[in-house]
Structure 1
Amino acid sequence: MNDALTYPSDSDLRRLLRFEPDSGAIWLGERRMLLLHTAALAALRQDLIRSVGGEHARRLLTRMGYACGLHDAGFARQTRGGKGLEDMFLVGPQLHMLEGAARVTPVRLKADIEAGQFDGAFRWDDSWEAHAHRTAFGIADEPSCWTLLGYASGYTSAFMGRLILFKETHCAACGDEHCLIEGRPIDEWPDGDAHRHYFEDDSLLDTIDALSQQVEALKTTLSPPVSGGMLVGQSPAFRAAHELMRRAAATQVTVLLTGETGVGKERFARALHAHSDRAQGPFVAVNCAALPAELIEAELFGVEKGAFTGAHAARAGRFERADGGTLFLDEVGDLPLPAQAKLLRVLQDGEIERLGAETGRQVNVRLVAATNVDLLGAVERGLFRRDLLYRLNVYPICIPPLRERIGDIEALAGHLLTRFTAVHNKRLAGFGDRALQTLLHHDWPGNVRELENLVERGVILAPQGGFVEAEHLFPNQPTPPHDSPDGQGRLARQSSDSELALCERILESRTPIAELEAMVLNLAVERSAGNLAGAARLLGMTRAQLAYRLKRNQPGSGDDD
């Protein structure tokens, strides 16, 4: 890198900073931001120092800045990954200024990522932290911009892939005119080990946390009888359904689970089985819609040898396999009418008859059925037996759709994240703020099954050690309308990606603006079949404004400049 450093344009970074008044959120890339008064931060800082002491306060504030720097390093790769090393690294100082920390002037910057070498110096003017410290405690004996130093160290460490320690050689809190910081690998500082605890104290805790997540995932996978399957939620609608399930588990009543596709009916059935006195018996699940109509009776009730061509041996059906346990019939509304008649007999007498058999067999089975269709409507259309509906509908439980369980989405997503990180051998920091916000505002037509698929995809696409971002969950999600600071620092509406692409094509075409305007006006008139009022509506202007512009664009109008 050159010693003579100049900042590239920060317009790309300003576009990352998005103000969305309608949603009440401010975003820097995929991270949610918050505008805070420096007076509030200064008061918090002062209280920390007075309550826990300077050394502990320094560690906490350094770690806070370090975490901010780690996040911003991700923007450097996302925003300027295709540019030179110097431009990419200078994202950090430019973001630090954009976030209001200080005015940062690069003094020296030499970096070689492959060799792990770094030597940098930066000047800070108007550091908010130096001002806050001097206001609260007067002239300091030691440099005190701990949060800002943590930021510089965190950003550069993430950028370089090794711990880079920044120290203040001048600090405005100590009475200097400005702050001056220098950074290099921590091993190259004579007193580097004395500063290491500010950054690495939690490494063992991180390892323990990662192992704990894997253990919890294994518990969920291997111990459904204890956990009752993956039933996660505290919303009122979920708790009502769960309470109905819990009460039914202690009885032998036939249960009918209803709800939209993907709400987790089989998970509820497994939980009911796990909480019942049949938990040590088999749980057999059958998807009635997946079985061919001509084979469904043989699958459910079994076959005797020679019952039909190809039946070379007797075979037990699903009812017999579930003897002493629970049989779960999913999509029961898709059963053909002959199979419905035999199912009714099992429910009435507890007896099944194999195909080709002359006598029945007693079975001790708890039946749980599920459907996502209106069975009463199917009865009216002659597709489902009314007497069977009455037998199945003794104890109905309606499982709510995910859109009615907004308060459960974060917990469910976290549970699935733990499960899939263990399955795919990934270690992730969690969901990004934008990703979590997007999950909370999604309509969830596919319910819990859709959430499960999205989280697994996100785990696979997210980088090792990083966050699951909205782009990993919803690759084609459009960017909502937002405002961002312009070159003068004023908020202005930002163009969408498609609008910017259109402007790029126009500029590349080198079409004069007057000619372009005439083309657009004439096209609008043509599409409106010569109706100026209709053309004006297409263009978002009044008829009089359109007529004026058309007249101005006519040759020899005398209005051309």
Structure 2
Amino acid sequence: MTNPRSAQPVTAPPRGDSRQLSVSSSPTPAELTDCLFFCPEDGRIWLNDQRMLLLHSSSFGALRSEVIARLGLEQARGLFTRTGYASGLRDARLIRERWPQADAAAVFRAGTHLHTLEGMTKVEPLYFKFDAESGFYEGEFLWHHCCEADEHLAVHGVAQDPVCWTETGYAMGFVSGLFGQMVIFREVQCRGMGHASCRVVGKTAAQWNDAGQDLSYLNVSSSLSHPDPAPAPVPHAAVGPHPPLIGASAAFNAATQALQRVAKTPASVLISGESGVGKELFARQLHQLSQRRNGPFVALNCAAIPDNLIEAELFGVERGAYTGATHSRPGRFERAAGGTLFLDEITCLSLAGQSKLLRALQEREIERVGGVHGIRVDVRVVAATNIDLRKAVADGSFREDLFYRLNVYPIALPPLRERRDDIALLIDAFLTRFCRDYERTPAGLTMRALKVLLRYDFPGNVRELQNLIERGLIASDEGQPIDLVHLFRNEPLPGDPYGVDDHGSLSNSMPPAPTAAAAPPLLETLGQLDPAFTLHGLESRLINEALQRSAGNLAAAARQLGLSRAQFAYRLKKHQPAAD
């Protein structure tokens, strides 16, 4: 998982040479293979924190052929080159963030293992060397069993030009993302042209001198002084001190697009979703995107206010309205004038409170408790609920007319278990925030911990994930990775996922959590220590040892045995003759 200290734009390693690289240098092929795991029960495959796909190579070939037929060879080449380039960039970031202290050459070599692991081709590095300070890179590789070449041969026959566009794009993306400037790879031999295998050569764009055609397939500048291997998939961020909205999944994007669409209008909005999904954060974001952004945002949790006080809280109080009302004060409607009033857990309002809220929404006028005249208010109301309001209307606990008044534009927020692609983003965000708040620098999360978090159902949603990361940071040691034992206490964990073993077969990929060796039965152990032991004698011995350790302090001795002072004193008195 991302190390907060390395969550920066990827920087170029200094220099390296594959001929001086140890085969045991991390990341090793085994370490990279451990990053790939399968979750059959929910239909996801992960490479570390990136979702992957298994796709029939023939289906890929059919797609490729149709794209060529529709766009022509040149445009199709550009499309597949860019697709591979984006994949290579993401893998470059994975390597740099997961192994920030790895040897520079080992980091570059990892791309050959990942490219192979992902099934497009078997990469054999002949050599590579580089010097970031002088801007020099040179490498030569063989690609065996290249999927793209095989599919091109099957459909189009032998080609006149190289056809491994996706693989070439991947190599350019991975190496450029690490090196800090554009590195161009070219096939000098291609299996699709009838050669036994594909041979590729990589150099910087400046070293090629004629890289214009290569760059045109990418539509990128030849300068990559600040490459961004993984464009931040966080399309929305709240303004001000409040945490930003974070997500890139389809479910999250659907909700945020709905929010953006309604934000510019004056319409009432009803946000629904389970507890902990971030309803107030969405309401604040809606306020910031609206024309009322310069006005106040006032929030009220209706469940936190007793029924007899809700009217005063919403509409305000005039002096003398009831015993204890020593001065007049405005309610939430008045305080939110010109801005947004967020009413959370709206179903907790009593029917009387619902009636008064409905009148305020319809008339845009309120009356303070004890008041004699109306007060005009200009407020946009955003309501939120974690239960089905239609069902509440049907069972008579919520007014139907108020429901339709609030439900002008509904936005349903998905639970975290339905937006698993966002979990890794949220982990990084929470870890970075808490590392700053607590001034801690852990070594990220272990692979085991990440695998469990990506598959955990999170009944408490985003709030629970936030709490787990905070707990893990507190429980872990400085400079050490956060593991399962730091994150979870009594929460039920999902079953083990499957990974790829050393033989390429699926197997249980989660090693057991570190535990002490299984202890022999207690009765057997005690019998070996004293064949004539009794329960009475054992209790007497424990009491006397605890008393000796605590130098006669009864309270301290009691704590050692998990007893109260009175309980310990009672047992001590019972065994006093034996103690004497």
Question: Normalising to structure 2: TM-score of the pair?
Answer: 0.54
Please say if 1:143 is aligned against 2:162.
Answer: yes
User: What RMSD over aligned residues (CA atoms) do the two structures have, in Å?
Assistant: 6.3
Corresponding residue for 2:502? 487
Partners of 1:26 and 1:412 in 2: how far apart?
11
Structure 1: give runs of 5+ residues left out of the alignment: 239-258, 276-280, 375-389, 425-433, 459-470, 507-518, 531-561
Please say if 1:520 is aligned against 2:532.
Answer: no
Contact 1:329 1:369 in 2 (8 A): yes
The CA deviation at 1:75 is 2.7
Q: Deviations over 1:336-388 (max 9, x none)?
A: 9xx99xx89x99x986465xxxx8334467998989899xxxxxxxxxxxxxx
Q: Deviations over 1:125-182 (max 9, x none)?
A: 2222233333333332222221111111111111112211001122222233322111
Partners of 2:263 and 2:194 in 1: how far apart?
64
Contact 1:486 1:492 in 2 (8 A): yes
Shift of the 521–195 alpha-carbon distance from structure 1 to 2, 3 Å rule, reads: same
Corresponding residue for 1:226? 265
**Correspondence for 1:189 among 208, 226, 229:** 208
Corresponding residue for 2:403? 397
Corresponding residue for 1:387? none
Matches within 5 A, 1:304-319: none
For residue 174 of structure 1, what is the amino acid of its counterpart?
M
For residue 136 of structure 1, what is the amino acid of its counterpart?
V
Please say if 1:158 is aligned against 2:177.
Answer: yes
Shift of the 172–291 alpha-carbon distance from structure 1 to 2, 3 Å rule, reads: closer
Stretch moving more, 35-44 or 81-90: 35-44
Partners of 1:92 and 1:170 in 2: how far apart?
20
Q: Deviations over 1:395-435 (max 9, x none)?
A: 45399999995699669989x99xx9xxx9xxxxxxxxx99
The CA deviation at 1:18 is 0.9
Matches within 5 A, 1:87-98: 87-98=106-117
The CA deviation at 1:43 is 2.7
Partners of 1:170 and 1:66 in 2: how far apart?
20
Partners of 1:101 and 1:214 in 2: how far apart?
37
Contact 1:171 1:179 in 2 (8 A): yes
Corresponding residue for 2:36? 17
Corresponding residue for 1:127? 146
Partners of 1:521 and 1:407 in 2: how far apart?
39
Matches within 5 A, 1:524-539: 526=524
Question: Normalising to structure 1: TM-score of the pair?
Answer: 0.55
For residue 161 of structure 1, what is the amino acid of its counterpart?
G
Which structure's CA Rg is the greater one?
1
For residue 484 of structure 1, what is the amino acid of its counterpart?
G
Sequence identity (%): 28
Contact 1:326 1:366 in 2 (8 A): no
Corresponding residue for 1:43? 62
The CA deviation at 1:12 is 0.6
**Equivalent position SS for 1:520:** coil
**Equivalent position SS for 2:138:** strand
Shift of the 392–329 alpha-carbon distance from structure 1 to 2, 3 Å rule, reads: farther
**Equivalent position SS for 2:403:** strand
Matches within 5 A, 1:453-464: none
Matches within 5 A, 1:261-276: 264=279
Partners of 1:107 and 1:44 in 2: how far apart?
32
Partners of 2:98 and 2:284 in 1: how far apart?
48
**Equivalent position SS for 1:196:** helix
Partners of 1:223 and 1:50 in 2: how far apart?
41
Shift of the 489–525 alpha-carbon distance from structure 1 to 2, 3 Å rule, reads: farther
Contact 2:269 2:411 in 1 (8 A): no
Shift of the 27–365 alpha-carbon distance from structure 1 to 2, 3 Å rule, reads: closer
Matches within 5 A, 1:149-548: 149-200=168-219, 224=263, 226=265, 228=267, 264=279, 300-303=315-318, 352=368, 360-363=372-375, 393=399, 395=401, 397=403, 442-445=457-460, 450=463, 476=487, 481-496=496-511, 499=513, 501=514, 520=518, 522-523=520-521, 526=524
